[in-house]
Amino acid sequence: GDTVFIADYLLERLAQLGVTQMFGVPGDFNLAFLDYVEDHPKINWVGNCNELNAAYAADGYARVKEGSIGVVTTTFGVGELSAMNGIAGAFSEQVPVLHIAGVPSTSQQKNKPMLHHTLGDGRFDAYFKASQQFTISQATLTDAASAGAEIDRILTDCVVTARPVYLMLPTDLVHTKIPAKRLRTPLNLDLPANDPDTEEFVLDEIMKLVDQANGDVVILVDACAIRHNVKSELADLLKKTGFPVYAAPMGKSVIPETYDRYGGIYIGSISRPEIKENVENAKLLLSVGGLKSDFNTGNFTYHTPTNRTIELHSDNTRVQFASYHGIGMKQLLPKLTARMQPLHLDASAISVPKFISPVPKEDNEIISHAWLWPRVGEFFRSKDVIIAETGTSSFGILETPLPGDAVFLSQILWGSIGWTIGSTLGAALAAREVGLKRTILFVGDGSTQVTVQELSVMMKMGVKPIIFLLNNRGYTVERFLHGQTAKYNDITNWRWTSLLTAFGGIEGETCQSYTVRTKTELDALLNTESFARADKIQFVEMIMEMHDAPKGLKAQAKLSGIPNKNISVGLNTDA
């Protein structure tokens, strides 16, 4: 029968999954493989500046290109370990990313010569062992016979669990041939089926509670509703029931924020009062894809009693105090919707506060957080991809309603600064493909310094994000948690508007940078059509106060109690 090189087998599988971009950095243990990538008609090699940024880009790509995966290719040891934080972040935040490490040949793996990029003590499995901590499945290809099945196994796990997987690809196997036959059967990406009896029982239990609640049901959507792909099932449930719906920070934008039964962000004690009241006083709370991390719950301050809560997760369901393992929401939701449909009338009687955020009048020209976030809210447009970095940005953006079909990315659980510079690259590439429009990033000065070089790759790839840099001279989010005036929270100030040209851009032609110091200046810029059109990469340095922060961050800091000791002590952790 016909055969195919293992490299091409892998690439073909990736193409089947809709992968069009591969991120990474070359190294002598992956160069042979990269020849195949370079020759592949459907997959483009994006050379990144470094491996961490590449992993972040793969993560951002996967988040925007729903249903596909992100791919990052690195070289043995030095490359793969550099990517590790990015991979761990994808694990934590449940993003499907394939990490391909080009490794020494199968015979070298056996003989263990003291190659460069080794630890010098013959342990060729150390990187594999480390990566086991941060990936859901791993494969180390050892021979032609099992290669195809191994590749299929981890790719399936990657998609089904929405978690990163790791593949060790030895230099010699790259051009070893295997039968092409498997490729004709697409990967089976079906989720494991819910056990029908259990599922039926769970549906009955839920409906009992719904009945008792007289239709006073509130839906709270969270991270895993995106990650495990139940957006449309959820939309259906909402449409057919009319239940009020709120989102946790990590669930922001899963439900169009313009939807008239959507009330905004619930974040425990630091929610807007009317939201807190409506969510916590509902007779029944149906949580979809909940992920109760500290920053996603207002430091564990949900007041949502378990006996009034139903939780739908990707692979289990909880009804009050009972857990039902193996009952996943993807299959459960449509059945639930069917049963609940008649409730529409009752539900629509429940009022939902409007989620709006008017621009406040302030009698000064300082670009304050209180003013900034509502103001940029007016700048957003349909089909924008909006990305907020960990820091004051990730707190500030939460209160800004986004356009209904906007996509929102943030990393609220993992919270690794610098992530957005990489993920913006990946997100912008994916956005181009899936018909989204502008990519708009809000990022702090401290975070930008972590991964700044990837701006150059954005220009190389011709993506045109608008990057709003919050220049507040350091790590402001940390100042609010600890060390308000400590020197370790200061950073050096850069000439931010020189960065794009230093990285090879041509000012006014391929890139444009701005500094804005006042409300009036920012306002004018946002109102400029040529700016809003985003037809080149744009970098906007916004001069802000060192000790200003969004309301949500201040509240979070207060909740943490005595700064320094109790930050995220997590008393109320039932997760």
Site string for ligand TPP, 359-378 (x = CB under 6 A): --------------------
Task: Judge residue 366's burial from the number of C-beta atoms within 10 Å of its C-beta, 0-12 exposed, 13-18 middle, 19 or more buried.
Answer: middle
Catalytic residue from among 12, 27, 30, 51: 51
Cβ proximity to ligand TPP: between 284 and 457 the closer is: 457
Of 101 and 238, nearer to ligand TPP (C-beta) is: 101
Q: Which of 289, 474, 505, 552 is the catalytic position?
A: 474
CB 360 within 8 A of CB 371: yes
Query: 330 vs 517, which CB is nearer to ligand TPP?
Result: 517
Question: How far is Cα 248 from Cα 503, in angstroms, rounded to an integer?
Answer: 38
446 binds Mg ion (CB under 5 A): yes
Q: Which of residues 384-443 bind a second copy (CB under 8 A)?
A: 412-418
Contact between 291 and a second copy by CB under 8 A: the answer reads: yes
Site for ligand TPP, residues 239 to 268, rule: CB under 6 A: none
Smallest separation, CB 308 to a second copy (Å): 21
First to last CA, the chain: 52
The conformation of residue 320, written as its DSSP 8-state character, comes to: T
> What backbone torsions phi and psi does residue 454 show, to the nearest 5 degrees?
-70, -10
Residue among 427, 448, 447 nearest 439 (CA): 427
CA-to-CA separations, 236 to 97, 230, 232, 240, 389, in angstroms, rounded: 28, 10, 6, 6, 31
- Tell whether residue 194 is a contact of ligand TPP (CB under 6 A): no
Nearer to ligand TPP, 49 or 427 (CB): 49
Question: Nearer to ligand TPP by C-beta: 78 or 144?
Answer: 78
Residue 445 among the catalytic residues = yes
From the CB of 470, what's the least distance to Mg ion, in Å? Answer: 6
Q: Between 84 and 443, whose beta carbon lies closer to Mg ion? A: 443
Among 1, 114, 197, 363, binds a second copy (CB under 8 A): 114
Q: Are 544 and 496 in contact (CB under 8 A)?
A: no
To the nearest whole angstrom, how small is the minimum distance from the Cβ of residue 307 to a second copy? Answer: 22
Between 213 and 469, name the residue whose CB sits nearer to a second copy: 469
In terms of residues, how long is the chain?
575
Burial 105-121 (b: 16+ CB within 10 A, else e): ebebbeeeeeeebbeee
The answer to whether 564 is a known catalytic residue is no
293 contacts ligand TPP (rule: CB under 6 A): no
In the residue annotation, 93 being an active-site residue is answered as no
What does 326-356 look like in DSSP terms, one character per residue?
T--HHHHHHHHHHHHGGGHHHHHTS------
**Residue 392 engages ligand TPP in binding (rule: CB under 6 A):** yes
Q: How far apart are CA 444 and CA 392, in angstroms?
A: 7
CA distance 248 to 296: 6
Pairing of strands 309-312, 316-319: antiparallel
For tokens 């930008």, the residue is 448
Q: Please check whether residue 36 is in contact with residue 173, taking contact to mean a CB–CB distance below 8 angstroms.
A: no
The token duo for 9 is: 């087998």
* Other CB atoms within 10 Å distance of the CB of residue 18: 15
Stretch 415-444: interaction string toward Mg ion, x if CB under 5 A: -----------------------------x
Contact window for Mg ion (CB under 5 A) among 180-188, 347-355, 398-406, 470-478: 470-478
Asked if residue 35 binds a second copy (CB under 8 A), the reply is: yes
Decide: is 267 part of the binding site for a second copy (CB under 8 A): no
Q: Is 116 a catalytic residue?
A: yes
Residues 403/378, Cβ–Cβ less than 8 Å: no
- Least CB distance to ligand TPP at residue 28 (A): 6
Catalytic-residue membership of 18: no
Q: Which of 199, 384, 389, 445 binds Mg ion (CB under 5 A)?
A: 445
Whether 28 is catalytic: yes
Among 391, 401, 422, 552, binds ligand TPP (CB under 6 A): 391
* Residue 114 contact, options a second copy, Mg ion, ligand TPP, none, Cβ 5-8 Å cut-off depending on partner type: a second copy
Known active-site residue 121: no
Site membership for ligand TPP, residue 557 (CB under 6 A) = no
β-strand partners of 311: 287, 318
Tokens of 267: 């974040």
> 457 touches which of a second copy, Mg ion, ligand TPP, none (CB within 5 to 8 A by kind)?
a second copy
Do β-strands 316-319 and 322-325 pair in parallel, antiparallel, or remain unpaired? antiparallel
- Phi, psi of 232, rounded to the nearest 5 degrees: -75, -35
DSSP state of 493: P
Q: Beta 316-319 vs 385-388: how paired, if at all?
A: unpaired
Which residue out of 35, 67, 111, 116 is catalytically annotated?
A: 116
450 lies in the site for a second copy, by CB under 8 A: yes
Q: How far is the CB of 251 from a second copy (least distance, A)?
A: 15
Cβ 470 to ligand TPP, closest distance in Å? Answer: 5
- Where on the chain is the footprint of ligand TPP (CB under 6 A)? 25-27, 75, 78-79, 82, 389-393, 415-418, 444-447, 470, 472, 475-478
Catalytic residue numbers, as ranges:
28, 51, 116-117, 415, 445, 472, 474, 478
